Structure 1
Amino acid sequence: MTQLAAALVPITSAGGYLLVLAVIMPVCAVLAMLALNPRYSAPVAAVTLAAGLVVSIAIVVKLFRNGTALVYVVGGWQPPLGLTLRADGLSATMLAMTAVVITAAGLFAQAQYGLVLDKRHGRAPTTFWILLMATWSALNVVFLGEDLFNLYVALELLTFAAVPLVCLDGRAATVSAALRYLMFALLGSLLYLLGTALIYGRFGTLDLRTLSGISDGGPAVSAALALMIAGLLAKAALFPLHLWLPPAHAGAPAAASAVLSALVIKAPVFLILRLVLDVAPPEAAQFAGQILAIMGASSILFCSVMALKQARLKLMIAYSTVAQIGYLFIVFPLAAGDGELPAWGTIAWTGGALQLVSHALAKAAMFLAAGAIAEAFGHDRIAELGGFARALPMSAAAFGLAGLSLMGIPPSGGFIAKCLLLTAAVVNGHPWLAATILAGGLLAASYVFRVIDRALATPATPIQIRTAIPRRMEMTALALAIAAVLLGFVPLQPFAFLQIGRADAAAMVAP
């Protein structure tokens, strides 16, 4: 371990300061909002959203030009005493995706809170902006962190920023949903922390780059990984640990639901991916991948059926979230790789990453469109929304385009992702996963077309709009849905950008 640690000494790279900006800027925005008059919260958030989007794009461009990971050694202290921030291709993709979705949610929220002029600078909008910025910073730490305990702190910050977003309206139902979410999240944190303690007791370090050299850690490592992954599964709401998600996401404000569904539950999924591929010994990784794939397939089938049964639009979308998350877990056995081809060199790796991004864009678009619909008509009961496309054509178009991605219909990003996963399942001899992918697409088509049918129906009585919706609210959802479709032009092959920062890691741990 000493020679391995010496070989993995990180050095701050040119442009590494961008990683610090990605984490610090939202925190500075929170401090400014707390210090200034509430009327300045929205302008501060707007400036931060624009700056954060620029920084995330700069990180992607820097990686693309250099072809190597960006690293920043915090305070100049080397691990294990110090901390590092590191962005590889997947991390940079997550940062950019997060910036895009949070910017869209912020634009939607500004328009929504502006519907009632005397409340646009009230307690709820101010609290929303503070929590949104805190959520953004915590997400960026999760995607950039390299220390298991530092990642635990980031997960806790994310939990305590995300949970209040569920109950901003103060209704009893949303408070109950938020408390259930909190209980699952705290249980997950406890399991993750216990696993972290076992890892530290066994190896004396929590640095992921150092731990990536583990070849066999014995029962202690297996137990630690099992605890940590179980805790993260509770936070990710994978079936059967999904009970908290539907009421929480369905009851939250639309902008908050978009962030929770598209981004917050992706953070534990990202960490599970790192634990299985970067830390777990090969035998343990293979076993864990099979278990996760079974849970993912169950999630796809069961929660798709539950989505089909829902009477409320947002509740249907929430169950769809749990179902679509399942696709990210069937990636593990498909991207297992072999001695010659690493996991990140497989088409399943690209397919999983595309599914992650396309789902985030499509699901955020769906929740924002559903929010506009609920705001306009005063409810989101599907049976009573006949003909809503006539009143809100862009919201109906956003929902339909996002649905294309969920169903896996060309030329959407979801089609490319599911096509790559389906190909990997057939080639690698996993017919049951191939059947699950096809069945999930058919079930998604069932609940998406159910809403589209109501949107295009001719109601017996003209549908009444309670509140006029600003066009920019609808355009925000539509832009995200179009982005999810445009992802379908990604080439059907392992995407080189996603491999940046991965091959060098393999070389460094090679004997």
Structure 2
Amino acid sequence: MLPPAPVPDAVTAPGGFLLVLSIAVPVAGVLLAFVLGGRWVRFVAFTIIPTMLAIVAATVLVLPRSKGPLIYLLGAWTPPLGVALRADGLSAVMLAATAVVISAVSVFAMTEFRPTTAAPRAPFAFWILLLAIWGALNTIFVGGDLFTLYVALELLTFAAVPLVSLDGRPETLRAALRYLLFALLGSVLYLLGTALLYGRYGTLDIVLLSRRVSAEPGPLIAVALMTTGLLAKTALFPLHLWLPPAHAGAPAAASAILSGLVVKGSFFILLRLWFDVMPALPGFAASQLLAALGAAAILFGSVVALRQERLKLLIAYSTLAQIGYLFLIFPLALNASGQLDHGQALAGGLLQAISHATAKASMFLAVGSIYGALGHDRIIGLGGVARALPLSVLAFALGGIALMGVQPSGASLAKDLLLEQATSTGQWWWVIVLQAGGMFTAAYVVLVLAHALAPSDLPIALAGDAPRSRDLAALSLALCSLSLGVVPWEHYLPVPHGAALRSFGLDALFKFMLPAMGGTALAILFSPWPHRLAHSATWKTLTRGLGPLRRICLDFGGLVETGDDGLRQWTTTGIALLLVTLLLAAAMFTAN
């Protein structure tokens, strides 16, 4: 078989060198920090951060002025002999979101990871790993071939795993090891798929593959293997074995990066694979399967989150639920000819991803401030914390409100786009899932705020300092997520002009009241940790008619929690991994 011809329009575009800088600068920062040593690592990091912000800002400004995606040919060799870096609107959005989140997390981490002679290793490791994650993520966002994406994904994994165990506790070491082993298993599946594609077509360049791939057994099996491997790295239900202990056990700054950004890397590669490499191959059944797993993630993650005693575990399980939201875009993006379309569904998914990145990072940072000040994160012990730590609670509340989809948040615009697409394609069942997901999101936000706003029986004695910079970093991310809906996304994503502003008024009030009221009801029904005023006359009057229903919901929640414990065992997860691969392959063979 002859190798594919070079891409005729693959030439380095003006501004394409910015793509190289977006990768090379954080990598250079890592190397420089190793050379200078631990005393200078923070100085290096805070030199790299503004430089990277300028590079990303320039990329975002240059892209709309170019005639197409920004392209840079490494060594001036065109694919398939060379490697191309490419950045389109999806890349620009993710580059910008990553820069914003990492910058805010760095401000938060200034006080926690200050180089000291007593404990020099953790600060040195954190700043090195943060820059490495930034470089790996940027490589994923601008990589132009599947093998480059594989290398970047592995670098991301090996940089993210040590973040879990920075404190050196045995339980975090176990969580990190579990994360590493399961991520490597996903990498093996992805690499097997790329080997099949390369053996069939002689290239892994995304543009070349999109022109040559066809509905043959080899490519279909490759897609199933690669998809399952990426699902394992993204921690989509039921392949979430590693996520709760890893995200809940890591330091707050590390949890914000893991939850907000790291899981988005593998999800972005999945978008490239399905939407750009082979948009016609997956078919209706396979896309519905992914969305069904996403819906199950929303239900399981939300119900288990409502049953947690610790605040960080609650947010970790809410991340599992929010990941499920992202996979609803696949059936909604199918057009009449059965191809995945770069339309409103994809735009809604990307907006949901960056909204989740900013809001969830804000919530983890806020919880980190609360934990540092109180010395614990027990939900039932949060009484009076709103008065003692008002900015921390405000940041958590605004981040949660942004995730609920309140105007003018990015999640609200994303939800509108997905609802419109579900209605126009006649897939009413995903409308129910989208609305229920918003209510469940509101439920655990309401639950936490009910305890935080309640008065405390005893004066709160703060166990540590609460630096203002930490709260401001968390608050800035929450406000960013809350205002993403008014950004002119039409320059980068297929979002209708003025879509963010057309729902203000009574519609916006209804969109707030529906999840807020539904979430309050769900919090009462599913949470075994009710408000501290549970024995008051008001509470008894409110729940007088809900006693039997609440018992049913609590029993159901217990079953879900028990099922989650079983699913996060190695044997069960291995079986689930095999079943997902077989089901995906069968669905694709049926469609083709």
TM-score using structure 2 length = 0.81
The equivalent residue for 1:79 is 79
Amino acid at match of 2:102: I
The equivalent residue for 2:55 is 55
Partners of 2:330 and 2:340 within 8 A in 1:
no
Q: Secondary structure, in 3 states, of the residue corresponding to 2:12?
A: coil
Q: Report 1:226-375 matches (<5 A).
A: 226-280=224-278, 282-338=280-336, 343-344=341-342, 346-375=343-372
Q: Deviations over 1:344-392 (max 9, x none)?
A: 2x32222111101111000010111111111111111111111211121
Distance in 1 (CA, whole Å) between partners of 2:146 and 2:300 is 32
Distance in 2 (CA, whole Å) between partners of 1:10 and 1:298 is 42
Distance in 1 (CA, whole Å) between partners of 2:155 and 2:8 is 28
The equivalent residue for 2:544 is none
Q: Secondary structure, in 3 states, of the residue corresponding to 1:343?
A: coil
Partners of 1:215 and 1:281 within 8 A in 2:
no
Of 427, 431, 456 in structure 2, the residue corresponding to residue 430 of structure 1 is 427
Does residue 181 (structure 1) correspond to residue 179 (structure 2)? The answer is: yes
Amino acid at match of 1:498: L
Q: Secondary structure, in 3 states, of the residue corresponding to 1:459?
A: coil
Unmatched tracts of structure 1, length 5 or more = 501-511
Q: Report 1:13-28 matches (<5 A).
A: 13-28=13-28
Does residue 488 (structure 1) correspond to residue 485 (structure 2)? The answer is: yes
Q: CA deviation at 1:111?
A: 2.2
Does residue 477 (structure 1) correspond to residue 474 (structure 2)? The answer is: yes
Amino acid at match of 2:314: M
Q: Secondary structure, in 3 states, of the residue corresponding to 2:231?
A: helix
Farther-moved stretch of structure 1 (285-294 vs 29-38): 285-294
Amino acid at match of 2:148: N
Q: Secondary structure, in 3 states, of the residue corresponding to 2:493?
A: helix
Distance in 2 (CA, whole Å) between partners of 1:55 and 1:324 is 30
The equivalent residue for 2:575 is none
Q: How many residues get paired?
A: 495
The equivalent residue for 1:447 is 444
Does residue 158 (structure 1) correspond to residue 153 (structure 2)? The answer is: no
The equivalent residue for 2:518 is none
Q: Secondary structure, in 3 states, of the residue corresponding to 2:86?
A: strand
Distance in 2 (CA, whole Å) between partners of 1:147 and 1:283 is 19
Of 414, 418, 443 in structure 2, the residue corresponding to residue 421 of structure 1 is 418
Structure 1 segments of 4+ aligned residues over 6 angstroms from their partners = 1-4
Farther-moved stretch of structure 1 (271-280 vs 418-427): 418-427
Partners of 1:217 and 1:281 within 8 A in 2:
no
Q: CA deviation at 1:302?
A: 1.1
Partners of 2:220 and 2:281 within 8 A in 1:
no
The equivalent residue for 1:505 is none
The equivalent residue for 1:508 is none
Partners of 2:215 and 2:281 within 8 A in 1:
no
- Aligned in 2, Cα 1:395/1:46: closer, same or farther, shift over 3 Å? same
Q: Secondary structure, in 3 states, of the residue corresponding to 1:498?
A: coil
Amino acid at match of 2:38: P
Q: CA deviation at 1:4?
A: 7.4
Of 376, 380, 385 in structure 2, the residue corresponding to residue 383 of structure 1 is 380
Of 389, 392, 403 in structure 2, the residue corresponding to residue 392 of structure 1 is 389
- Aligned in 2, Cα 1:3/1:191: closer, same or farther, shift over 3 Å? closer
Partners of 1:411 and 1:485 within 8 A in 2:
yes
Partners of 2:275 and 2:340 within 8 A in 1:
no
Q: Secondary structure, in 3 states, of the residue corresponding to 1:84?
A: strand
Q: Deviations over 1:43-62 (max 9, x none)?
A: 11001011111111110000
TM-score using structure 1 length = 0.93
Q: Secondary structure, in 3 states, of the residue corresponding to 2:85?
A: strand
The equivalent residue for 2:123 is 125
Q: Deviations over 1:54-97 (max 9, x none)?
A: 11111000012225211110111221121111100000111111
Distance in 2 (CA, whole Å) between partners of 1:423 and 1:404 is 22
Amino acid at match of 2:385: F
Q: CA deviation at 1:118?
A: 5.4
Amino acid at match of 1:235: K
Of 472, 475, 493 in structure 2, the residue corresponding to residue 498 of structure 1 is 493
Percent same amino acid at aligned positions? 54
- Aligned in 2, Cα 1:340/1:177: closer, same or farther, shift over 3 Å? closer
Unmatched tracts of structure 2, length 5 or more = 496-592
The equivalent residue for 2:409 is 412
Q: Secondary structure, in 3 states, of the residue corresponding to 2:473?
A: helix
Amino acid at match of 1:78: T
Amino acid at match of 1:52: M
Distance in 2 (CA, whole Å) between partners of 1:482 and 1:29 is 29
